[in-house]
């Protein structure tokens, strides 16, 4: 591979052999990562609020009535969840590009884990909601089920998502732990956000494992993940938007990474 193969990840070098100023695309990607994080921070709580406002735990009839009478709101919630899934996939690619000078293999693993999280989230959020709408529709083949059974299935699909969240939490935790390690080791981003991201990953692990092993303490695990997760991701997002990466240090790291592959 030549030294000019990719404008972003392979900086040009001066006659003295030192990396030149990185391409403006690096700054755009850094800002894009920050914007994508903020989209998640805004849209995900709204989508979660929509679902929680319509689903009445343990009351299938009330849940079904809420969704039938406010189907448009329910569908908007689905659209918000779909937006999050797409943003997560794009963010995985952007973070891989930004962090691969530190370690290509670890950056690939972190991004793959984030994509896996998005896939499981799609199964939990969108597929269960599609099944819910089908169960509450007027399609003729559903005549095999009486009204109470259909309402019960609708609530079942919605409550199943609460446990599927814990499954994608494992993949998200792994992604945060690896991303935090990369940020901490990078040299072109400050160490503190990296530590906070690793703490966020630990929080999601505690929530998922804790709820599986001690479901009666689910409220405690939710507090743990809120306390540990929000500061890390929020600080990282704000830093990407406000400061970005140290471009000279990133360029030098990318140059060293490429030379090690030659």
**What is the percent of the chain with per-residue pLDDT over 70, rounded to a whole number?**
90
Where helices occur in 100-190 by DSSP H, the ranges are 104-121, 128-135, 147-186
Q: CA-to-CA distance for 91 and 40, rounded, in angstroms?
A: 10
Distance, CA of 222 to CA of 218 (rounded, Å): 6
* pLDDT for the residue 146: 84
Residue in the block written with tokens 């984030």: 114
Using the 8-state DSSP alphabet, how is residue 56 labeled?
-
- What pLDDT does residue 8 have? 52
Q: What is the pLDDT of residue 18?
A: 43
Q: What is the rounded CA–CA span in Å between residue 139 and residue 31? A: 47
pLDDT at 19 over 80: no
- Please report which confidence band the pLDDT of residue 220 belongs to, taking 50, 70 and 90 as the band edges: confident
Q: pTM of the full predicted structure?
A: 0.84
Residue 14 has pLDDT above 50, yes or no: no
Digit-coded pLDDT (tens) for 97-155? 999 999 999 999 999 999 999 999 998 888 999 999 998 887 767 777 788 888 899 99
- SS3 call for 19: strand
């Amino acid at each position: 591979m030549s030294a000019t193969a990719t404008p972003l990840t392979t900086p040009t070098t001066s006659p003295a052999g030192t990396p030149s100023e990185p391409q403006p695309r690096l700054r755009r990607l850094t800002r894009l990562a920050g914007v994508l994080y903020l989209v998640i921070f805004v849209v995900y709580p709204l989508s979660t609020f929509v679902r929680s406002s319509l689903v009445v735990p343990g009351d299938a009839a009330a849940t079904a009535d809420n969704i039938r009478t406010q189907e448009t709101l329910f569908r908007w919630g689905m659209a918000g969840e779909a937006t999050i899934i797409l943003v997560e996939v794009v963010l995985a690619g952007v973070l891989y590009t930004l962090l691969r000078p530190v370690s290509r293999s670890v950056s690939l693993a972190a991004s793959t884990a984030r994509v896996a999280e998005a896939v499981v989230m799609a199964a939990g959020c969108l597929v269960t909601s599609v099944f819910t709408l089908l169960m509450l529709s007027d399609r003729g083949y559903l005549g095999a089920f009486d009204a109470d059974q259909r309402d019960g299935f609708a609530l079942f699909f919605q409550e199943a998502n609460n446990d599927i969240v814990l499954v994608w939490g494992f993949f998200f935790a792994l992604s945060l732990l690896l991303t935090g390690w990369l940020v901490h080791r990078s040299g072109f981003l400050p160490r503190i956000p990296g530590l906070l991201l690793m703490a966020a990953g630990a929080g999601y692990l505690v929530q998922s494992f804790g709820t599986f092993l001690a479901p009666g303490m689910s409220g405690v695990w939710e507090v743990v993940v809120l306390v540990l997760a929000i500061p890390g991701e929020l600080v990282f997002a704000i830093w990407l938007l406000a400061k970005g990466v140290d471009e000279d240090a990133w360029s030098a790291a990318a140059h060293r990474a490429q030379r090690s592959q030659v």
